[in-house]
Amino acid sequence: MTIAAQSVPGLTSAEVAERVARGEVNQLPPRSGRTTWDIVRANVFTRINFLLMLLFVMVLTTGSIVNALFGFLIIINSGIGIVQELRAKRTLDNLAVVGEGKPSVRRGGAVTEIPREQIVVDDIIEIGPGDQVIVDGEVVEASYLEVDESLLTGESDPLLKQPGDEVMSGSFVVAGVGAYRATRVGHDSYAAKLTMEASRFSLVKSELQSGINKILRLITWLLVPVGLATVWVQWNQPGTWQEKVLSMAGALVPMVPEGLVLLTSLAFAVGVVRLGQQNVLVQELPAIEGLARVDVVCADKTGTLTENGLRFGELDVLAGDGDDERDVLAQLAAADPRPNASVVALAQSLPLVAEPWQVDAMAPFTSAKKWSGMSFVGHGNWVLGAPDVLSSPGSEVAQRAERAGSTGRRVLLLGESDGPVDAPGAPGTVTPAALVILEQKVRPEARDTLAYFADQGVGVKVISGDNAVSVGAVTGSLGVAAGEVVDARTLPEAPELFADKVEQAGVFGRVTPQQKRQMVAALQSRGHNVAMTGDGVNDVLAIKDADLGVAMGSGAAATRSVAQLVLLDDSFATLPHVVAEGRRVIGNIERVANFFLTKTIYSIILALLVAIWRLPFPFVPIHISFVGWFTIGIPASILALAPNAERARPGFLRRVMSFSIPSGIVVGLATFLTYLLVLPHPGSGGSPVQASTAALLTLMIGGTWVMAATARPYQWWKLLLIGVCGLAAFVAIFWLPGWVGAWARAVPAFARFDPQLDPSNAGLMATGGVVGLVAAALVELVWWLSGRITGEHRHVFGNLAHVKA
């Protein structure tokens, strides 16, 4: 268990160069999971782009350039998607370099920190508490080295490692120090698989993506038969082949939900970039969705509510003058190879050791036992740890420590044990010598952050390994009414009773790493979406199991590696921005889905009815472009990136379909009804173009009201958006035809850009307007009814932050 007598010096520069030449270097997958070519290919070569390109080429063959304008959607969709995903990739990669821990590697007898990609086979890598084993290897040195392999094997107990034992990448050190020789690097090691899974730019296990995929499957099943019927009916209509092609394209183009996937990817990519600007590394894209759903935040006190650093306050000597106790503390600090924050505070305040004592045995600190110790040759066996663990309950020492801890300070007990600290029954009988009181500074932003969560209806559970009274005092100083303060050692073992207590109380002290994990599971079993924040190795398992794991940038490497989010600036105040960004992304994607699903449904309904009646399709592609621009594309693009503070809820697909499908049916039926009523017949005095214009008016009114309902609750800028888009839509119908006609008379070549609209027949336009208003009223009714069906509280006006489900 002791460190090998002869230290392994590591590789020379020549040996490193030789291994690099052989390719035995730790080449890892891209941090963001996708190469530039992957992003370009995913955005360009899509089924939607293929369908649009096919229709675009067909329309171009007719010579009608104005009706081929929808083809620019291919360039716009692909261009915006590529630019935003590349920007997000660059943000992820740059932040990952900043937040990534660098392993300490011995080369030529010296220890240097190098990027993990520069590790080669046979490198000697030093490890200590909180460090992650980043490549597979064999232990060459060990001093009480304990490694947790639970992330690989599920075995929760740390394993003692000795020279010759194997260590696997993905495990992490919980106690002791050591070094290991790299045996498998790059894609051969388990770390490569972890990197691929932990940093992939994807939407795995996402309710949102699952819902969108179901929507796309539904659309595909509807689009194929309706599209074939449309092609057959329109091709058999009288007229030139150019007119037939334009009618087919006019029916098929709006069925393609070209903006749904684009704006979904765009919203997520922009979310990654915005969080990057807040110094937040998003290691898994689904984390953005998790942000929006969080309703309980489990915050570790140390490093989250308080700053990481501690300051030595005073030494409360229980017997004697304190000089001997100070000497012991100085020796403990000097001999600790990887001191924790408490020991670092002692080392900074106590005098340097002139003659170090010889260490005979060592017991590293772990969060499970909550004490550490050393046996010195000729100077006794000394332990340092939690007073309520090392002293008898109810004793004078325990009460004295409790009173000191009630002020929010950290209190440790220095005592002398009756046996070696590494004995099976350690620490044995402990004779208290002194209470070590450490000052911990509360983060200045913690109070406002906790107040934000309270205002947003997000519960906060403060969980710490420190004394419960001390944790309660710190939390109380932040103005939080956390309720009952619980010593985790008194929690019931029965799962149901345990979950009841965890849900009721707000502050927990003396929590073990395994109990943190159990608390997360208990809250999840009660239907909560749990975020777990932490910075220490004791937080790893709980962060891994939480719905959203949040690590501090200065925390342990193992903690950062399993978290979905890393707060690179260690600021707890960043969390409100993180939660708000998640809500903005998810809430706005739901709005966008409403837009595009409604459009696809009314397009399919209209095409189906036209095919059944064997009529010419009323619209050409330029008409659909008008509707798409002003009632879907422009407002959806703005709303997809707008502020949105509403907490996401389960049931995304049900909510979207409960509004979009009936609304699409209403608008499609109303448009077809207008078309039937205004179709030219003997004595009607109308023309096919006038009939199309009247039907387009109905479609515009219905589509505009879908936009208006989806944008609620209203704020001034949303009303302005609706007004501008609605005005632009009606200008396109009523003003554009006359403008084009005037230009055509002056410049005959301009007639090729004829929008094929004629609003001059007042009777037909009145019919279209009346039916459109009826459709708008029915869409309004659908909006209110869908709210009742899904249990949403509908609001016409108000701030989204106050809209509750």
Q: For residue range 141-192, what is the model confidence (pLDDT) as tens digits? A: 988 898 887 766 656 678 889 999 999 887 888 888 899 999 988 877 765 6
Q: What is the mean pLDDT of the chain?
A: 80
Q: What are the tens digits of pLDDT across the range 341-351?
A: 888 888 888 88
Angle of helix 258-277 relative to helix 574-613, nearest 10 degrees?
170
Confidence label for 5 from pLDDT (cuts 50, 70 and 90): very low
pLDDT of residue 138: 94
d(CA 378, CA 383) in angstroms, rounded, equals 16
Question: Which tokens go with 645?
Answer: 């503070």
Q: Per-residue pLDDT averaged across 698-703, rounded?
A: 92
Q: Where among 523, 540, 570 does a domain terminate? A: 570
Q: Is residue 77 part of a domain?
A: no
Other CB atoms within 10 Å distance of the CB of residue 114: 15
Q: pLDDT at residue 358 above 80?
A: yes
In a domain, 252, yes or no: yes
Q: Residue 805: pLDDT band by 50, 70, 90 thresholds? A: very low
Is 1 contained in some domain? no
Residue 71 lies in a domain: no
3-state secondary structure of 104: strand
The CATH number of the domain where 324 resides is what? 3.40.1110.10
Q: How far apart are CA 564 and CA 562, in angstroms?
A: 7
Q: Which segments within 318-450 are labelled E, that is strand?
A: 359-363, 371-376, 380-385, 410-417, 430-442
Distance, in Å, from the CA atom of 709 to the CA atom of 783, rounded to the nearest integer, reads: 7
Q: What is the pLDDT of residues 675-687, one digit of tens each?
A: 999 988 655 566 8
Q: Which amino acid is at 200?
A: R
How many structural domains comprise the chain?
4
For residue 532, pLDDT over 70 is answered with: yes
SS3 325: helix
Look-up of token digits 């984390």: 287
Q: Are residues 529 and 405 in the same domain?
A: no
Question: What values do phi and psi take at 81, rounded to 5?
Answer: -60, -45
Residue at which a domain ends, from 570, 604, 637: 570
Angle between helices 736-746 and 716-734 (to 10 degrees): 40
Supply the pLDDT for residue 801. Answer: 40
Residue 95, pLDDT score: 62
The C-alpha atoms of residue 4 and residue 698 are separated, in whole angstroms, by 85
CATH label of the domain that carries residue 136: 2.70.150.10
CA atoms of 785 and 781, how far apart (whole Å): 6
Q: What is the 3-state secondary structure (H, E, C) of 686-753?
A: CCHHHHHHHHHHHHHHHHHHHHHHHCCCECHHHHHHHHHHHHHHHHHHHCHHHHHHHHHHHCHHHHHH
- In this structure, is residue 92 part of a structural domain? no
Give 607's Cβ-side CA count (13 Å radius): 31
466 is annotated as an active-site residue: no
Same domain, 456 and 424: no
What number of CA atoms fall less than 13 Å from residue 195's CA on the CB side?
27
Of the chain, the percentage scoring pLDDT greater than 70 comes to 82
Residues 525 and 596 in one domain: no
Peptide bond preceding 713 in cis form (omega within 30 of 0): yes
What pLDDT score was predicted for residue 156? 61
- pLDDT confidence of residue 202: 40
Do 432 and 404 share a structural domain? Answer: yes
User: Is residue 294 in a domain?
Assistant: yes
**731 and 613, same domain (yes or no):** yes
β-partners of residue 111 are 106
Same domain, 713 and 589: yes
| C-beta of residue 140 within 8 angstroms of C-beta of residue 167 | no
User: 570, 602, 627 — which closes off a domain?
Assistant: 570
Token couple for 53:
């390109």
CA dist 220 to 215, 249, 668, Å? 9, 17, 18
- Give domain status of residue 50, yes or no: no
Query: How high is the pLDDT of residue 705?
Result: 93
Amino acid of residue 384: L
CA pair distance 509, 469, nearest whole angstrom? 7
| pLDDT higher than 60, residue 86 | yes
Given a cut of 80, is residue 739 above it in pLDDT? no
Residue scoring higher pLDDT (588 or 511): 511
The predicted model gives 573-589 an average pLDDT of 81
Averaged pLDDT, 261-288: 75
Q: Which residue has the tokens 């309950």?
A: 393
Edge-to-edge strand list for the sheet holding 410-417: 306-317, 430-442, 410-417, 380-385, 371-376, 359-363
CATH number, domain containing residue 221: 1.20.1110.10
Provide the domain limits for residue 668.
Answer: 205-275+579-802
Count of positions (residues) in the chain: 805
CA atoms within 13 A on the CB side of 214: 12
Span 327-331, average pLDDT: 92
Residue 110's DSSP bridge partners are 107
From CA 140, how far away is CA 181, in angstroms rounded?
Answer: 7
Q: Domain check: are 591 and 726 in the same one?
A: yes
Mark whether 271 and 216 lie in a shared domain: yes
674 and 777, same domain (yes or no):
yes
Q: How many helices (H) and strands (E) does the chain have?
A: 28, 21
| Residues forming beta bridges with residue 312, ordered by sequence position | 438
Count of other CB atoms within 10 angstroms of residue 626: 23
Contact 337, 143 (CB under 8 A): yes
CA distances from 691 to 152, 676, 773 (A): 68, 9, 17
pLDDT digits (tens, 9 = 90+) for 200-238: 444 334 667 677 777 777 777 777 787 777 778 777 777
Question: What pLDDT score was predicted for residue 370?
Answer: 86
- What angle, rounded to 10 degrees, do the helices at 323-335 and 341-349 form? 120
**Position 351: which residue type?**
P
How many beta carbons lie within 10 A of that of residue 205, not counting itself? 11
Please tell me the predicted confidence (pLDDT) of residue 81: 66
The pLDDT of 740-751, averaged and rounded, is: 50
Strands 110-113 and 104-107, by their bridges, are: antiparallel
Average pLDDT over residues 5-28: 84
| Residues linked to residue 376 through DSSP beta bridges, in sequence order | 359, 380
From the list 701, 691, 697, the residue with the least C-alpha distance to 631 is 701
765 to 675, 758, 779: CA distances (angstroms) = 11, 10, 21
- For residues 122 and 231, membership in a common domain is answered with no
Which range (71-85, 101-115, 129-143, 599-613) has the least confidence?
71-85
CA pair distance 540, 534, nearest whole angstrom: 8
Residue 514 reports pLDDT greater than 90 = no
Distance CA 208, CA 466 (A): 39
> pLDDT tens digit string along 97-151?
555 668 999 998 889 999 888 999 999 999 988 888 888 999 999 888 988 877 6
Greater confidence, 47 or 235? Answer: 235
Q: 756-804: per-residue pLDDT in tens? A: 778 888 889 999 999 999 999 999 999 999 988 887 878 888 654 443 3
Most trustworthy range by pLDDT among 355-359, 453-457, 575-579, 776-780: 776-780
Tell me which of 80 and 297 has the higher pLDDT. 297
- Domain match, 561 and 677 both: no
Is 68 inside a domain boundary?
A: no
pLDDT digit string, tens, across residues 536-569: 777 888 888 888 888 888 777 778 877 888 888 8
Ramachandran angles phi, psi of 473, nearest 5°: -70, -40
Please, are residues 257 and 599 in contact by the beta-carbon 8 Å criterion? yes
> Comparing 6-10, 255-259, 598-602, 641-645, which segment has the lowest mean pLDDT?
255-259
Both 448 and 436 in a single domain? no
Average pLDDT over residues 244-266: 68
Asked if the model's pLDDT at residue 83 lies above 70, the reply is yes
Residue 497 confidence class, pLDDT cut points 50, 70, 90: very high
Of 136, 300, 316, 570, catalytic? 300
pLDDT tens readout for residues 627-637: 777 787 778 77
Task: Read off the pLDDT band of 654 (50, 70, 90).
Answer: confident
pLDDT of amino acid 3: 39
| CA 324/CA 412 separation, integer angstroms | 17
Strand ranges (E), 168-225: 172-184
